[in-house]
Amino acid sequence: MRAEISNARVHPMAQIIDGKIYADRLREQVAEEVARLKAEHGLQPGLAVVLVGEDPASSVYVRSKGKATVEVGMEGFQHRLSAEAPQEELLALIARLNADGGVHGILVQLPLPAHIDSSAVLAAIDPDKDVDGFHIVNAGRLAVGLPGLVPCTPLGCLLMLKDQLGDLSGLHAVVVGRSNIVGKPMAQLLLGESCTVTIAHSRTRDLPALCRTADILIAAVGRPEMIRGDWIKPGATVIDVGINRTGDGLVGDVDFDAVREVAGAITPVPGGVGPMTTACLLENTLEAALARRARVPLE
Ligand code: NDP
């Protein structure tokens, strides 16, 4: 019975894109460059992470980011404010971090409590220290093709795609999701690689048919296993950004078991995009430190 199934399969099972391997490799490269900066220039990149409130998932993220920072030889600064802290207190902290020469990257963990205006907080971060890449200056730089800090999750996806596929030019990329932190910057990055890019969202008509035209399919929706096996063009590369906590544990936006029968390559959840996101945060902090050294060489 098993032999019959495998003989009937048109394509072999998709290759699994192991995000942990990519992330380890990137972290090693960052650590080497940090060691060189310290040895040759006495410069230690520093990343400040700010957490407001006690959200358990956010606390876990902040702790693991802090650990990862120290592991690559950077300096990690953690700032915790109470859930009731007024917006002014957070803005004053950001102003101090902006002015601190030992801090090259600033990350404010989202979501923020409801009484705080997230966009005002993100706008207060010095764009050259905005290692999350969420500041509108960095969004603008990305849109017009200028160098800047790029959001970590789409950056990680792009690095894996380029390593996997080489030249992306001319490929049709469908990005499902149009958020400012994943979908839109992902689409911009793929356009920058000369893909033909389609952005889909909740109002898109006949999403399955659209997805079937994708050489590269990025799922950034937040709906467990929404993307089915028969939505996939045979041989396509599928990147699953989704993180959904269900009764059965953590699942992505892609029906992994069905899609891997059709796709050429696919990222798993967990162990795909997630690990690369943290590694790209370190990469961005390094980039921010290098860029500042180029601007202020005698610091
Ligand atoms: P948002 O909720 O901000 O955006 C979701 C997008 O999906 C929206 O553009 C929405 O469309 C679209 N959408 C919703 N339902 C449908 C549907 N039925 N058909 C087509 N499109 C739909 O989410 P994020 O972009 O912040 O995150 C997306 C997922 O990625 C989440 O699961 C999140 O947890 C995960 N994530 C993972 C990260 C990682 O490190 N791996 C990092 C960041 C996010 P519309 O705009 O029309 O409402």
Q: Please write the tens of the pLDDT for every residue from 238-249.
A: 999 999 999 989
What's the confidence (pLDDT) of residue 9?
Answer: 54
What's the confidence (pLDDT) of residue 6?
Answer: 47
What's the confidence (pLDDT) of residue 46?
Answer: 98
- Residue 48 is given by DSSP the state E
> Edge-to-edge strands of the sheet including 172-176?
15-16, 265-266, 237-240, 216-219, 172-176, 196-200
For ligand 1, say whether the CB of 183 is within 6 Å of any of its atoms: yes
81: closest CA among 99, 103, 55? 55
d(CA 68, CA 195): 33
Positions of the chain with pLDDT lower than 70, given as ranges:
1-11, 298-299
CA–CA distance from 285 to each of 163, 206, 280 (Å)?
22, 40, 8
Considering only the C-alpha atoms of the chain, give the largest distance between any 2 of them, rounded to a whole number of Å: 71
Within 10 Å of residue 221's Cβ, how many Cβ atoms?
A: 24
Q: 197 C-alpha to center of ligand 1: Å? A: 17
Active-site residue, 233 included: no
Q: 221 C-alpha to center of ligand 1: Å? A: 3
For ligand 1, say whether the CB of 267 is within 6 Å of any of its atoms: no
Sign of the torsion angle spanned by Cα atoms 230, 231, 237, 239: negative
For ligand 1, say whether the CB of 203 is within 6 Å of any of its atoms: yes
Q: Tokens standing for 237? A: 């590369």
CA angle 77, 67, 299 (to 5 degrees): 40
Reported for 96-100, long-range contacts at CB under 8 A and 24+ positions apart, including other chains, are: 97/48, 97/50, 97/129, 98/124, 98/125, 98/126, 98/129, 100/48
The residue to which tokens 């079937």 are assigned: 212
Spell out the alpha helix ranges (H) of 100-206: 118-124, 136-144, 152-165, 183-192
The residue to which tokens 């957490």 are assigned: 51
Tell me: cis bond preceding 111? Omega within 30 of 0 counts: yes
* pTM (2 d.p.): 0.95
Parallel/antiparallel/unpaired status of strands 244-246 and 249-251: antiparallel
Active-site residue, 109 included: yes
Q: 183 C-alpha to center of ligand 1: Å? A: 8
Q: Tokens standing for 162? A: 């380029």
What's the confidence (pLDDT) of residue 227?
Answer: 98
- Residue 14 is given by DSSP the state P
What's the confidence (pLDDT) of residue 299?
Answer: 59
Spell out the alpha helix ranges (H) of the chain: 2-8, 19-41, 56-71, 87-99, 118-124, 136-144, 152-165, 183-192, 207-211, 256-259, 273-295
Q: Which of 126, 128, 130, 132 is catalytic?
A: 132
For ligand 1, say whether the CB of 222 is within 6 Å of any of its atoms: yes
What's the confidence (pLDDT) of residue 278?
Answer: 96
For ligand 1, say whether the CB of 245 is within 6 Å of any of its atoms: no
